Chains A and B, each alone.
Chain A
Amino acid sequence: MAELWELSAAALRAAIGRGEVSCHEVAQAHLDRCAALDPRVRAFVTLTPGTALAQADHWDAARARGEALPPLAGIPIALKDNFCTRGIRTTCSSKILGDWQPPYDATATRLVREAGCVLLGKTNLDEFAMGSSTENSGLFTTRNPWDLDRVPGGSSGGSAAAVAACMSPLATGSDTGGSIRQPAALCGVVGMKPTYGRVSRYGLVAFASSLDQIGPFARSVEDAALLLQALAVPDPLDSTSLPVEAPDYRAALTGDVRGLRIGVPREYFAEGVHETVRTAVRRALDLFCDLGATVEETSTPHAEYGLACYYIIAPAEASSNLARYDGVRYGIRADNARDVIGMFEETRDLGFGDEVKHRIMLGTYALSAGYYDAYYDKALRVRTLVKQDFERCWERYDVLVAPTSPEVAFRIGEKAGDPLAMKLSDICTIPVNMAGNCAISLPCGFQDGLPIGLQIIGKSLDEATVLRAAHAYEQAANWQPRVPSLSP
């Protein structure tokens, strides 16, 4: 029999339902796996074995009493450490929050708990989700389970690595410019950014409010669909949460993509996207044709401006969102400051890392009197153009297919001296955040043993079609191996 940690969430849930395995055993198996591997992978900022076993025991007791179990009862999960967890340290991988324990749960935290998930711990990220490798974490860098000398991608690199290394079957992430999809691609797992407004942001520590969106990580499309189902609940605590009930995502996984109209925007295959990646995506498109979908080249002419606009809008919002870390109410506080302004300045200087400071300065500048129109306002206008590109596509296509990341996982430190190269990692994912659409990344091959990601982009609120396409491809392609060997 396979190890428990190898099983998908769906398989584990079925086994638990049949009484073949207890939630406690499932939790313990994953905790053991974490204990064995995480010292090398370093996916977790905080492990919560006590919470995990208590929650697992809770569901075992419920089953013993004959109660009906919720859809993800006993399934381990890891939460990105920018999800507020009541009474459990939430760091955003920043020194500035110290050992802050939120007095409340994020809506997403509550939803996965109510769905039955068992919390294994909180995962590493680039500080405040700003980065594409976890090298900007204020705590440590997470390793890619396929090659421990390489980055897992980011910012949700800890969650992607935890799922890839089978330390957890499920994890959550947040995606502001690609922070779920790019690490999913680099770690060879499935990661989805739902439509903006599909999942409540309440309790997700904000980076760029108009772009941030929570989504699932899993090793299969079906598992991602199960977790999305738990997360996609309208929330009165988030004004931007859309008041739309989610359809049954698992029911959408029919395996049938006959007649599916796929658009392939040529801008995503431009120079800078590695040849191997382009080839892998083209092969995936061939497979879609074989499955009965139609594939046609198209264009989203403003996609190339997405990155530039993103680096105005996201830092601008971040400069405001991160202004609250002033040492007054929580986190660290600089001692011996002259006065209150001095305390603000010294606390922020001590607590924030370079990338965060860099973006705060960028955003402050973009919003300053005299520059607002030239930068922020103009970026908002171009954002509308990016959005309109997609709207035009939806007149002819059901989904768009593109690479997720222009290249496979790079070596730790490789881009440390080249911030622009680092930022280009998100060139294929950012336009989707700008438009607010949904998109998924799933494995579509390997280059020298490193996974390549396929991105499928869908209309607003049409996660079901994206999942259906991804699932059909996944089943037909059946890429192996799915689990890294993690040999030393």
Chain B
Amino acid sequence: MAEATGFEAVVGMEVHAELLTESKMFCGCGTQFGASPNTLCCPVCTGLPGSLPVPNRKAVELVVRTALALNCEVNRACLFHRKNYFYPDLPKAYQISQYDVPIGVNGHLDVRVNGEMRRIRIRRVHLEEDTGKLLHVERDTSFVDYNRSGVPLMEIVTEPDIHSADEAREYLIALRRILLYIEVSDGRMEQGSLRCEPNISVRPRGTDELNSKTELKNLSSFRVVYLGIQYETARQALALEKQRGISLGASATVPGQPPLKVDVRDTALTQETRRCDEPNLKTVSMRTKEYAHDYRYFPEPDLVPVTFEEAWIEGVRAGLPELPAARLHRYTEEIGLSEYDAGVLVEERALADYFDTAARAYGGDAKKIANWMQSDWLRLFNAGGRDWTGVRVTPDALAELVHLQDEGKITGKLAKSVFETAWETGKTPAAIVQEQGIEVVGDEAQLLPVIDGVLAENERVVADIRAGKVGKLNFLVGQVMRVTKGSAAPDVVQRLMRDRLGLT
């Protein structure tokens, strides 16, 4: 038996994302999720005889946007092909898709995996239409809902550059974040608007073999994608060992949370499509690829090619927001935030936008804004379920609060309570301070009469102090604070009191 060399996964990821357009890809029907079955359809998206497609320009633009955000080359023309196959959810029995000229090719996405940067190459980004949905109501009876039929769907395919479940997860998180940043998809896996299909094979580490791959389908979350890849990697490694009589150090048990246990009877190496059996934490075969369709692609004769002007593409590029990687770099290099803190802020575009707006309004050291956001702001935001409608402190208000603190108008302790009040009520920090009369008073002309009054009322204490019991000074300062309801600046009171009593 050969020496154990270890093994690695070879994963290519296909991601389908429904685009955030008002209307469908080739007709004017709406795209909302959750409408009553077959209420969002027309002759075009139900494939009635005689109907013809008219492309949605907005969808084309969103795919160009994505291609640019993923560093792709953008082809100058948008050509559609027909992909022919029979299925009840496909009303024309062909899907209008793209074939040899996708909108974007040869891109990449850099992701950090366990502290190390990895470049995942993007093979293609293309545009197609979604299918309807089958509803299996009882044995032998199915219904079809065509509401989803014709919704614009983008496919993003990587090269087989992913080599572990960790890398797959980081890639998907980074990709989803970009799709949300550039506002092309809502990224909702649970509603099926984002779907991930990894193609997985395994090889002895250090080789460049490409062995039979399995495609995982119907994965409901990134967690399931992660578990599925872990399971498949272990299962295929065992299969490879069995097939070749070698040892790769594979184990039927994959430690983790939860630990996985490979079904050792299911270790044949064949090209097939599998799904995740979530309750049992394993993957199971759906169908083998030997029955793969011949899709008979040919150019869609009902559509004329759309060509892109260079200037138009550049316009789309100029309209892209600052992407997460660039922001992270700016936060760490220019503002000096830690990698972790910067990472928390760029996680969601709205959060980073909020931070940038507040920092701009503040004008000073943006780290102070970041500190506020990392602590009380995010605590309350997370407590509210990260719901933006609950965020009533505007970026300007946050900047104002830090200013009040800088100017010594409120103490750190007060600032915290002012922030909480602002979060509750939506009032500005200045208004809260004024309303509650808690502004720090450091003005001598205001404080001296109060101090003189306290001295007059406490002749015995004054006498003790003059006799050398200087420690009793704090009592008098405390009295001033009581009379001013805490708004007096303690250091100013201390100094004026000492002057009055002739202490040095």
Q: Which residues of A contact B (CB under 8 A)?
A: 82-84, 90, 92, 97, 100, 102-104, 106, 201-206, 208-210, 236-240, 316-317, 319-320, 323-326, 328-330, 340-341, 344, 364, 367-369, 372, 376
Is A364 a contact partner of B49 (Cβ separation < 8 A)? no
Contacts of A372 in B (CB 8 A): 296-298
Is B304 a contact partner of A320 (Cβ separation < 8 A)? no
Q: Report Cα–Cα, A239/B302, bound state, in Å.
A: 7
From known contacts A323-B94, A326-B93, infer whether A92 and B296 are also in contact, taking CB-CB under 8 Å.
no
Determine the residue in chain B with the shortest Cβ distance to A348.
B86
Segment of B51-59, B110-118, B156-164 engaged in the interface with chain A: B51-59
Question: Could you write out 14 A-B pairs with CB less than 8 Å apart?
Answer: A202-B50, A202-B51, A202-B52, A238-B54, A239-B53, A323-B84, A323-B92, A324-B91, A324-B92, A326-B86, A328-B88, A329-B46, A341-B86, A368-B294
- Tell me the minimal C-beta distance from B88 to chain A in angstroms: 5
Contacts of B296 in A (CB 8 A): 319-320, 364, 367-369, 372
Contacts of B48 in A (CB 8 A): 84, 102-104, 329-330
The 7 A-B residue pairs with the shortest CB-CB distance, nearest first, are: A323-B93, A210-B301, A367-B296, A209-B301, A203-B50, A205-B49, A84-B50
Contacts of B297 in A (CB 8 A): 367, 372
**Is B204 located at the chain interface by the 8 A CB criterion?**
no
Q: Report Cα–Cα, A62/B217, bound state, in Å.
A: 62
From known contacts A209-B302, A324-B91, infer whether A369 and B294 are also in contact, taking CB-CB under 8 Å.
yes
Contacts of A326 in B (CB 8 A): 86, 88, 93
**Is B102 located at the chain interface by the 8 A CB criterion?**
no
**Is B82 located at the chain interface by the 8 A CB criterion?**
yes
Contacts of B52 in A (CB 8 A): 201-202, 237-239
Determine the residue in chain A with the shortest Cβ distance to B42.
A104
Q: Report Cα–Cα, A237/B53, bound state, in Å.
A: 7
From known contacts A103-B43, A209-B302, A240-B302, infer whether A324 and B49 are also in contact, taking CB-CB under 8 Å.
yes
**Is B492 located at the chain interface by the 8 A CB criterion?**
no
Contacts of A202 in B (CB 8 A): 50-52
**Is B174 located at the chain interface by the 8 A CB criterion?**
no
By CB atoms of chain A within 10 A, which of B46, B142, B302 has the most? B302
Is A316 a contact partner of B92 (Cβ separation < 8 A)? no
Contacts of B144 in A (CB 8 A): 328
**Contact partner, B304, options A205, A237, A239, A317, Cβ 8 Å:** A239
B30-62 residues with Cβ-Cβ distance < 8 A to A are 43, 46-55
**Is B350 located at the chain interface by the 8 A CB criterion?**
no
Contacts of B88 in A (CB 8 A): 326, 328, 340
Contacts of B304 in A (CB 8 A): 239-240
Q: Report Cα–Cα, A209/B80, bound state, in Å.
A: 14
- Tell me the minimal C-beta distance from B364 to chain A in angstroms: 55
Is A367 a contact partner of B298 (Cβ separation < 8 A)? yes
Contacts A102-B48, A210-B301, A367-B297 known; list 7 others, CB within 8 Å. Answer: A84-B50, A201-B52, A203-B50, A320-B93, A323-B84, A323-B93, A367-B84
Determine the residue in chain B with the shortest Cβ distance to A235.
B52
By CB atoms of chain A within 10 A, which of B92, B94, B296, B304 has the most? B296
Determine the residue in chain A with the shortest Cβ distance to B88.
A328
**Contact partner, B298, options A236, A323, A344, A376, Cβ 8 Å:** A376
- Tell me the minimal C-beta distance from A239 to chain B in angstroms: 5
How big is the B interface, by class? 20 to 34
Q: Which residues of B contact A (CB under 8 A)?
A: 43, 46-55, 82, 84, 86, 88, 91-94, 142, 144, 294, 296-298, 301-304
Is A320 a contact partner of B84 (Cβ separation < 8 A)? yes
**Contact partner, A239, options B46, B54, B82, B91, Cβ 8 Å:** B54
Q: Report Cα–Cα, A204/B49, bound state, in Å.
A: 8
Contacts of B142 in A (CB 8 A): 340
- Tell me the minimal C-beta distance from A98 to chain B in angstroms: 12
Is A92 a contact partner of B49 (Cβ separation < 8 A)? yes
Q: Report Cα–Cα, A97/B93, bound state, in Å.
A: 16
From known contacts A239-B304, A368-B296, infer whether A104 and B43 are also in contact, taking CB-CB under 8 Å.
yes
- Tell me the minimal C-beta distance from A16 to chain B in angstroms: 31
- Tell me the minimal C-beta distance from A87 to chain B in angstroms: 14
**Contact partner, B50, options A204, A236, A364, A367, Cβ 8 Å:** A204
Is B54 a contact partner of A84 (Cβ separation < 8 A)? no
Q: Report Cα–Cα, A316/B441, bound state, in Å.
A: 87
Contacts of B53 in A (CB 8 A): 239
- Tell me the minimal C-beta distance from B46 to chain A in angstroms: 6
From known contacts A104-B43, A367-B296, infer whether A97 and B86 are also in contact, taking CB-CB under 8 Å.
no
**Contact partner, A236, options B47, B54, B84, B303, Cβ 8 Å:** B54
Contacts of A104 in B (CB 8 A): 43, 48, 51
Q: Report Cα–Cα, A204/B52, bound state, in Å.
A: 9
Contacts of A106 in B (CB 8 A): 50
- Tell me the minimal C-beta distance from A259 to chain B in angstroms: 35
Is B49 a contact partner of A239 (Cβ separation < 8 A)? no
Q: Report Cα–Cα, A103/B38, bound state, in Å.
A: 15
From known contacts A102-B48, A203-B50, A236-B54, infer whether A324 and B302 are also in contact, taking CB-CB under 8 Å.
no
- Tell me the minimal C-beta distance from B297 to chain A in angstroms: 8
Determine the residue in chain B with the shortest Cβ distance to A317.
B301
Contacts of A210 in B (CB 8 A): 301
Q: Report Cα–Cα, A207/B447, bound state, in Å.
A: 95
